[in-house]
Amino acid sequence: MNLTDLIPDAEVVLALQPDELGLRILQVLGNWPTHMHLELGTFINSVLGNPQTPNQGPYPANQRGVISEAIREAWAWLEGAALLIRSPDFIGEHTIRVLSRRARQLAKDPVRALSARRIQKDALHPKIREEVWQLYHRGKFDIAITEAMKAVEIAVREGAGYTNADYGVVMIARAFHEGKGPLRDPTAQPSEREQLRSFIVGAFGFYRNPYAHRNVAQADPDEAAEIIMLANHLLRIVDARVAAGLTP
């Protein structure tokens, strides 16, 4: 397998971010020939062909330089993410690399590898940044969704000043009740307050209950990422209402 098999269009290579290209490169490295050292220069030549005959390479010769730069950026990302590590078989300073444990797992699962980039850790709310992010990248998608929605429930409870006896959609509906909920926005129109309550209750109830109370398997990393980001958005809404406070 070569990178050109996965991405035959040079423009697509150049359009990818370093992490996106890096995860595609990882698929190639998972099938790297055992008789060849895993080294950046060797990999670039395997993709672009012999530098002495650039016109015979798989990608246009006039894009060789920018494609090489894109590969170098992606390679640096792989090393920074601890997916490529120094080979222990050589002493002293060297550039030979091997796949880390996590890289070997991702290389065997292309769907998961290509989707692992979809949740950036620093984009997540602090309440779910560590645990949910780790669960997602370990492939525990259903548990990650449950924990994300649980964080929403806890944030609403604390923000509204309720006790542990309050929980679930009933509590959230009460907290955002358009007429007397402690997390309502009195400055918004009554219809807007009602719509916000319906949105939060519906989103929480639809995604929290099935994963928390039934054995619902979530195997699609893209869909799981979207649901987690929805929970992330709900947490931002709660934060905004708590920060604003309830005004008459």
What is the tens place of the pLDDT at every residue in 11-39? 888 888 898 889 889 989 998 988 889 99
Model confidence band, residue 218 (pLDDT cutoffs 50, 70, 90): low
Task: Give the residue, 130 or 201, on which the prediction is more confident.
Answer: 201
Instruction: Give me the mean pLDDT over the 83-103 stretch.
Output: 93
Region of poorest pLDDT, from 2-6, 107-111, 143-147, 154-158: 107-111
Report d(CA 177, CA 129) in Å as an integer: 28
CA distance 209 to 69: 47
Task: For residues 221 and 215, give the distance between their C-alpha atoms in angstroms, rounded to a whole number.
Answer: 17
pLDDT at 115 over 60: no
CA separation for the pair 120, 97 (Å, rounded) = 25
* Cα–Cα dist 146/172, whole Å: 16
51 pLDDT above the threshold of 80:
no
User: Would you tell me the crossing angle of helices 101-108 and 18-29 to the nearest 10 degrees?
Assistant: 80
CB 149 within 8 A of CB 207: yes
